[in-house]
Structure 1
């Protein structure tokens, strides 16, 4: 049976088929506009960075996924910005490689699997060393002992700067991670399915506690979730088909999910969860996680819990949306699902800011400038 609907425009009568076609054309136009504007921003916003005549020996985390995409981002960026990037493969004695290649810098990612004795040996050769901490402040019980062995310490948590300086580290700098455009970028092609709301991440207990009172309403609004341990959620059995449990997604697949979702939720883990953290000092976390930049690089609206340092990177309400409670999150989800232009405007502004200021090229340039001037 065909339903007839009265249209307020011109007073004409529309059948349900005609109204559906009208809505489809409108939605298609809006999505096409978002894709086109996103592509224009990506092509236009291409900052230029200096090329430095330095040689860097890069030592990866040694932990594999999910750290390996960061290794890929750093290595690729270094190769574009320095005269030579030497990779220390697993099993290769790093001091011997440094002695034979004589790099200007040994850069270590994470460092938790790296021998501190080897770092000390490299420093005795007169070669500068740097470590880029990946998980501050969650494992400061370990990094507390590592930091003094390096000439330069880079941390992605602003609250850890004073910690490392108190240990006598002379060169401690705040350097968060970023988006790698080869991994995280807007989708140009029309995606087969647009999701309303998404969340990707493990079910740390603070996340379970936060989501539980609103999981039903969020599911009613089209929430899809992905990550480890979500069977901790008491309501998991009722929504199992909407929660992709126990799956690690690579960066390209993650980017596709971001780009095909209207609203991505970013809820940081707690630095005080003793069962998974090694943060006996109880250092609070105020800086944004890497996901903050990666979601923004995909031209989708991000809703993130309001960390103190977030405004240093994105303007809340202009380039990103924040929430401080489950109810506020739900209210903002409702608003942006019914205000498409406002949603797209924020997503596009976040995309432009990210490609201008928050890529690995920005971060590596800052690191090299600090070390080499």
Structure 2
């Protein structure tokens, strides 16, 4: 089966598109990729044309690519670059249309696209299904992200150099949680926070890298961590919705402490494959407890790693997506 896969050019720390393309190929499908990478020529064109004209230009390019490559299926991540007329035209040409939205619950799809236009709409959050039904999506499907075992993996010979590692974008909630934790523990942080925190922020000494990081850089750091700390951007705002770090840390066989989300117990067994906190005020005590117990950390991390390889790779996700869409036959 030939997929036309549309990938946004703006994802940096979470380049799921590459993983989706690879997983589909590993399952035996042909993948034609549209809008694959950021590049200077594309950025200059957008600046010169203006955003609206640029999007029309990109959608014309997409339809030209459809004509040239004759795909069997159109599959987009996010779908922000494709207007309603383009999606309707793809459907008119007989292509099943699939959208996988990956910003829930913090940024809902209906603010940017018409999710009901797609034949199949998937979200990374189980808790947003009612919202999408309200916006006339007949059957919103829950599909979390996963790992690429070639990237998110244990690194042979890596030493645990850092007590507590956090990798991710800036958010005021994350800043507050990490600031409180530095009162009792030494952290190691990577992420694009440079323009978000003041020069004299108490967090600055804890940054190993103040900027965007690659999946490989993140995976190495997770291998070097005694504890990987996960703080969802929507901590204390929504009780549902899960981010990529949940799986990526476990894929690196790292011990992880995460804020609790409704979806997690079905993915990882609490206290056996992951440790959860309801309130960040528990974090200092939890970190002290597990830093003193390397064997317990190793046992939990090993069990999470085994579960991840069994159930949470991008191949698993694409198999489920194909099954739901009736394309696995």
Q: May I ask how many residue pairs the two structures share in their alignment?
A: 305
Q: Deviations over 1:41-99 (max 9, x none)?
A: xxxxxxxxxxxxx22111111324234x2111011111111332122246572123223
For the pair 1:84 / 2:30, whether they are aligned, the reply is: yes
Give the one of 58, 73, 81 matched to 2:5.
58
For the pair 1:96 / 2:96, whether they are aligned, the reply is: no
Aligned residue for 2:185, secondary structure, equals: helix
For the pair 1:213 / 2:187, whether they are aligned, the reply is: no
- Displacement after TM superposition at 1:207 (Å): 1.7
Aligned residue for 1:269, secondary structure, equals: coil
- Flag the 1:143–1:240 CA change in 2: closer, same or farther, 3 A: closer
Contact map agreement 2:168 2:190 (CA 8 A) in 1 = yes
Contact map agreement 2:13 2:215 (CA 8 A) in 1 = no
For the pair 1:262 / 2:226, whether they are aligned, the reply is: yes
Q: How many Å separate the matches in 2 of 1:119 and 1:139? A: 21
Q: How many Å separate the matches in 2 of 1:59 and 1:243? A: 34
For the pair 1:123 / 2:91, whether they are aligned, the reply is: yes
- Flag the 1:145–1:109 CA change in 2: closer, same or farther, 3 A: closer
- Displacement after TM superposition at 1:244 (Å): 3.6
Give the one of 18, 25, 37 matched to 1:72.
18
- Flag the 1:66–1:194 CA change in 2: closer, same or farther, 3 A: closer
Q: Deviations over 1:323-357 (max 9, x none)?
A: 12333211111111111111100000000000110
User: Normalised by the size of structure 2, how large is the TM-score?
Assistant: 0.85
Aligned residue for 2:182, secondary structure, equals: helix
- Displacement after TM superposition at 1:132 (Å): 0.5
Q: How many Å separate the matches in 2 of 1:125 and 1:310? A: 39
Q: How many Å separate the matches in 2 of 1:152 and 1:126? A: 14
Contact map agreement 1:197 1:261 (CA 8 A) in 2 = yes
- Displacement after TM superposition at 1:239 (Å): 5.1
For the pair 1:305 / 2:262, whether they are aligned, the reply is: no
Q: How many Å separate the matches in 2 of 1:190 and 1:226? A: 18
Q: How many Å separate the matches in 1 of 2:235 and 2:68? A: 41
Aligned to 1:289: 243
- Displacement after TM superposition at 1:202 (Å): 2.7
Aligned to 2:291: 337
- Flag the 1:133–1:141 CA change in 2: closer, same or farther, 3 A: closer
Aligned residue for 1:264, secondary structure, equals: strand
Aligned residue for 2:164, secondary structure, equals: strand
**Structure 1: which 5+ residue stretches go unaligned?**
1-53, 274-283
Q: How many Å separate the matches in 1 of 2:199 and 2:282? A: 21
- Displacement after TM superposition at 1:231 (Å): 7.7
- Displacement after TM superposition at 1:365 (Å): 0.3
- Displacement after TM superposition at 1:240 (Å): 2.9
Q: How many Å separate the matches in 1 of 2:200 and 2:167? A: 15
1:15-164 equivalence runs, <5 A: 54-67=1-14, 69-89=15-35, 91=58, 93-140=61-108, 142-143=110-111, 145-164=113-132
- Flag the 1:239–1:110 CA change in 2: closer, same or farther, 3 A: closer
For the pair 1:251 / 2:218, whether they are aligned, the reply is: no
Q: Deviations over 1:247-278 (max 9, x none)?
A: 111000000000011101000002898xxxxx
1:208-247 equivalence runs, <5 A: 208-219=175-186, 223-229=187-193, 237-238=201-202, 240-244=204-208, 246-247=210-211
**Structure 2: which 5+ residue stretches go unaligned?**
37-57
Contact map agreement 2:191 2:210 (CA 8 A) in 1 = yes
